[in-house]
Amino acid sequence: MIIDTHAHYDDERFDDDREELLTGMKAKGIDIIVNASATVKGCFDSLALAEKYDFVYTMAGIHPSDTLDLEEPGVFEEIKKVAAHKKCVAIGEIGLDYYWDEPDREIQKKWFAEQLDFAKEIGKPVNIHSRDAAADTLDIMKAEGAKDLGGIIHCFSYGTEMAKEYLNMGFHIGVGGVITFKNGKKLKEVVEYAPLDRIVLETDCPYLAPEPYRGKRNQSDYLHMVAEEIANIKNITKEEVVRITRDNALRVYGINV
């Protein structure tokens, strides 16, 4: 059975069939889904999903693109309440995103560091978003002692040299649909380089659906295609990929089944 380590089933694109989709996942070989938070509202919506479905877990954290909301008095304290829930297994997704010009990079960096510090305070792993911000992400993680936290570099988009840095810090590499893209050469090289016991599967659904669904809404059962591609790269069976990445996910999130 596959674990989806990063999904967004609170997204409005699932509003019409969320119940049907989620209740059918176990029959499709998906036994655990970890739903990531991105916004303040998302933290609470994601928690509601985790409370409704026994196989869904959640994270608490604010995506870098929404960190301006954390400047509002009392907001971070509300996020901390979600993080204290027994089904919250990580602080995420947090990090830096320089693809867009807003919010200001200094605000992003401030709240990335603050959320890392909070993760240390409560002893939970982190789920890291880093887009076009390789150097600053790594520098802040090192400065904040993130190697003591562990976690996942979500939707890994850098090369093998950066992968080596994160692996040396004890982090896992999140691999999703991009591994099936024709232009996904860089990620394929990272997957070939990284030990399988440091790789986890993720969708980031509804985003980044694998081939042949690229450009359409993603969903957790499409991870079978991701596992098959990793198996091809590693020259092992798909079953071995599923088993080891599942063990990795349980370990990094501290989920007992």
Residues 121-159: pLDDT tens digits?
A: 999 999 999 999 999 999 999 999 999 999 999 999 999
d(CA 49, CA 103): 28
Confidence of residue 237 (pLDDT cuts 50, 70, 90): very high
> Is residue 14's pLDDT more than 90?
yes
Per-residue pLDDT averaged across 152-170, rounded?
A: 97
Q: What is the pLDDT of residue 232?
A: 98
Alpha carbon distance, N-terminus to C-terminus of the chain:
12
Residue 20 has pLDDT above 90, yes or no: yes
CA dist 192 and 151 (Å) reads 20
Domain of 42: which CATH number? Answer: 3.20.20.140
Alpha helices in 149-235 (DSSP H): 160-168, 185-193, 223-234
What pLDDT, on the 0 to 100 scale, is given for residue 116? Answer: 98
pLDDT digits (tens, 9 = 90+) for 64-108: 999 999 999 999 999 999 999 999 999 999 999 999 889 999 999
Instruction: Provide the domain count of the chain.
Output: 1
- Looking at the predicted structure, is the pLDDT value of residue 229 above 90? yes
The residue segments making up the domain with residue 85 are 2-253
Q: How confident is the model at residue 236 (pLDDT cuts 50, 70, 90)?
A: very high
pLDDT value for 195: 98
Model pLDDT, residue 101: 87
Question: In this predicted structure, what is the pLDDT of residue 257?
Answer: 87
Mean pLDDT of the chain: 97
